[in-house]
Every structure is written in C-alpha cells, then in structure tokens.
Amino acid sequence: MIERIEKCLKDIPIEILVVDDNSPDGTADLAEELGKKYGNIRVLRRGEKLGLGSAVSQGINQSRGKVIAIMDADLQHPPELLPKMLEKIKEGYDVVIASRYVKGGGTVGWSVWRKIISRGAVLLTRVLLPFLSSIEDAVSGYFMFKRVILGKTNVTASSYKVMLEILSISRYRSIIEIPYIFTARSRGNSKLSLKEIVSYPFVLLNLHIAHIKSKRKDFQIIYKHENSPINCSRSIMIDDFNQKYDAIGDKNEEK
C-alpha cells in the first residue's frame, strides 16, 4: 500500500502515519523500514489493541498536515483515488468522501448479509443524524478533509466510524462524494463485529447529542455528488462561522 501511495502522490509533499496496535505480522517494522527509504513515514506503536476508532483518532490528532486522508491499510481503499480527492480539496471542498453509493460507486465480493448491514447503517444514520441525510455514504471509512474544520477540537472517536464524529462536531461548508469500488480484502478478517453492530445506534445517539452541544446555529452546507449536475443544498446550522472560518484559514495559510 505504501508504495502505491508514494507512487500516485510522488510530486506532492506528504506524511504517511501508520498506527499499529502491536500487530503480530510485523506491520510496524516493515513500515519503519519503508520510512528509511522514503523519509516521510511515521509509525505510532501502541502496546495493545485499543480499537480502530482510537487508532484513527490518534493518527488525526498527531498528524501535521493541513489536509488529512483516512484509509484502511488492506487495499480495500484504492490509493489511486487520493490524487482525485486532493484535487477536490484544492477546488475548495472541505470534506471529500469516497462513496460506494453514488453513481459509479459500488462493492465487489460482499455477501447479501454484508450489503444489508451496510445499507441498514446508512438508513439508520439518516434517521438519527438527520443533518447528514444528504450524504449517500455517511458510513464510508475512506475520506479526506481540511484540518481547519476541526478548529481546536481533538477527535476522540471510540467507534470505528470516525468520519461521523468529524461531521457531527466540526465546522465545514461543503462536502463532495466521489465514486469508488470497494473490493473484498485478499487476506485478514473484517473488523465489523456483533458488538459493533449492536452498539451502533447508541453511537449515533451520542453523536446527535454531541452535535447539539457543539452549539452550531443555522449554517448552509453544500452537498454534491460528483456525477450530479447540480448541488444538493440543505440548510442546517449558521452563525458568524463564515468570518471565524475565513480567519482560521488565513492564519493557516500564513504558516
């Protein structure tokens, strides 16, 4: 995976952050060896398995870039999509979601049961987090965003759906979904457990409460699907954030 990332982003200065929960397969050692070759890889070693959500959260909080991409290391998220996602960020979008459920996207190698679970999670998200109802694939694990939307907030997700927390508590003005094909992993097992499935509604309820506590007022967010001829706009939450957002952006550009 790292070689493919380096290849498709070879002309762009990047940092690759690998969070390893004491993997027995030598992932951390291999990543550190590749770090000697490329010079832009950091490995965060954790002594025990603390969960995917915790790993992603720590990676986000310790990263140093102005733009952050989250992806799995099992190649179900194709690195070749990263340049296109970054292009959308440069066009001005705050969040870019690699989507299985917009036109042109899809899944390969999934059982009927897995498809039902995924679609059910999307529908449940729309019900319990109505401010995200315009997003076709709100449970995607492959996304990119501008660090500025987090402000001073640290991501603390315990659930594996970290993007939902970010979209619930952060300050963003535009989202675009671009299609990709999610393929079955060639090795290893899914991290989706019965415990994750049962706890998911409670995760959404907690995020709904967190969203209310964030005290966002009416704020126009533009949702767009790449293959859609028009923007899908929805009014949800705006205050004087436009001025705050621009001020934060200007400060970051000066650094």
Read off the pLDDT of residues 18-59 as tens digits, 9 standing for 90 and up.
998 888 788 889 999 999 999 999 999 987 777 778 888 889
List the domain boundaries for the chain: 51-254
Are the beta carbons of 66 and 147 closer than 8 angstroms?
Answer: yes
Q: What's the confidence (pLDDT) of residue 144?
A: 97
% of the chain surpassing 90 pLDDT: 51
DSSP code for 249: H
Q: Tell me the mean pLDDT in the region 162-173.
A: 90
> In 3-state terms, what secondary structure has residue 101?
coil
Q: What's the confidence (pLDDT) of residue 241?
A: 34
Are the beta carbons of 28 and 20 closer than 8 angstroms?
Answer: yes
The alpha carbon of residue 74 and the mean position of all alpha carbons in its chain are separated, in whole angstroms, by 16
Q: What's the confidence (pLDDT) of residue 89?
A: 96
pLDDT for 187 beyond 60: no
Q: What's the confidence (pLDDT) of residue 116?
A: 92
Q: How far apart are CA 233 and CA 221, in angstroms?
A: 6
pLDDT for 247 beyond 50: no
Q: How far apart are CA 243 and CA 245, in angstroms?
A: 5
- DSSP β-bridge partners for residue 223: 175, 232
- Is the pTM of the predicted complex or chain greater than 0.85? no
pLDDT for 71 beyond 50: yes
pLDDT for 129 beyond 80: yes
Q: Residue 54: exposed, middle, or buried by beta-carbon count in 10 A (0-12, 13-18, 19+)?
A: buried
Residue range 82-126, pLDDT digits in tens: 999 999 999 999 999 999 999 999 999 888 988 999 999 999 999
**How confident is the prediction for the chain on average, in pLDDT?**
82
Q: What's the confidence (pLDDT) of residue 87?
A: 96
Q: Tell me the mean pLDDT in the region 67-88.
A: 93
pLDDT for 155 beyond 70: yes
Q: What's the confidence (pLDDT) of residue 190?
A: 59
Residue range 209-244, pLDDT digits in tens: 988 887 654 445 677 777 653 333 332 222 333 333
